[in-house]
Amino acid sequence: MSQNEKNFGVIPGLNMGLFKPETLKQIIDTINRHEVPMTKITSAQRLALLGMDKDKQKQLLSELTPLLRPRPTNGVTYVQACPGSQWCKFGVRDALKLGAELEKMSFSEPLPGKVKIGVSGCRMCCTEARVRDIGIIASKKGWTLIFGGNGGNNARIGDVVAEALNDSEVIDLARKCLDYYQQNTTRKMRTARFMEMTSIDELKRAVLNT
């Protein structure tokens, strides 16, 4: 079978890229049992099964899905967090803890477009937070929140909304930014394109001190 005739399935991934050794072993055993030609962990922290026949995917997916995180239903595509102060010598704040709290956000209505969140435990920005819909970067003074970034073909560095925030403040502000975005666009649009139509001053007036 030629490479072009082969198919692949992508299933929801791991919680911020984290997993226990026993979970990894189960995944590897399942993939080996089904003789998957190639497997890739994508940049979105999902599992891509490459080179499989379409008719063989269903059983494999049914076995793997319980081992991995469910597909998000709150409109946030994924939260990417670096090891932070828990595991990295450069980390000044706990990025994994904050990322876990951000994953709990829920919204009454679907968000207008994909929302990708990057949390960096230091200014080196390993999670590319400046080009995420919501970017959160740590310093010794607190968290900086950035909104409206995008790393795609029409890339955009996000706007700084506020600095020196504690954990609860940055989570609250992230929600306010997403609420404002949700309430002020009526069509499918990512935050980067939204911010090209909305000034950062307008956003700040709406979400700060409210």
Q: What is the CATH number of the domain that holds 59?
A: 3.30.70
Q: Each residue's pLDDT tens digit in the chain (210 positions)?
A: 344 556 677 777 777 778 889 988 998 999 999 998 888 888 878 888 888 887 788 888 888 888 777 766 667 888 999 999 999 999 999 999 999 999 888 888 889 999 999 999 999 999 999 999 999 999 999 999 999 999 999 999 999 999 999 999 999 999 999 999 999 987 889 999 999 999 999 999 999 976
If asked whether residues 135 and 43 sit together in one domain, one would say no
Instruction: Please give the pLDDT value at position 186.
Output: 75
Predicted pLDDT at 1: 38
How many alpha carbons lie under 13 Å from residue 12 in its C-beta half-sphere? Answer: 17
Residues 45 and 99 placed together within one structural domain of the fold: no
One domain, residues 43 and 87: no
Same domain as 199, residue 112? yes
Q: According to the model, what pLDDT value does residue 2 have?
A: 41
Say if residue 85 is in the same domain as residue 50. Answer: no
pLDDT of the residue at 7? 65
Q: Assess whether 63 and 155 both reside in one domain.
A: no
Name the CA dihedral angle for 42, 47, 53, 56, rounded to a multiple of 10 degrees: -170
CATH number at residue 134: 3.30.413.10
Residues 182 and 84 in one domain: yes
Give pLDDT, residue 6. Answer: 63
- pLDDT at position 46 is 82
DSSP 168-187: HHHHHHHHHHHHHHHHT--S
Among 67, 84, 104, give the residue marking a domain's end. Answer: 67
- Domain identity same for 34 and 118: no
For residue 205, the SS3 value is helix
Would you state the pLDDT for residue 115?
Answer: 95
Give the total number of structural domains in the chain.
Answer: 2
First to last CA, the chain: 60
118 and 203 part of one domain = yes
Q: Which domain does 10 fall in, by range?
A: 3-67
133 and 38 housed in the same domain: no
Looking at 67, 88, 111, the residue that finishes a domain is 67
Q: Are residue 52 and residue 15 in the same domain, yes or no?
A: yes
Give the pLDDT score at 182: 95
Statement to judge: residues 63 and 106 lie in one domain: no
Q: pLDDT value at position 72?
A: 64
Reported in sequence order, the residue ranges of the chain that DSSP labels E, i.e. its strands, are 7-11, 38-41, 47-52, 76-81, 115-120, 134-139, 142-147, 159-165
H or E stretch covering 99: helix 95-102
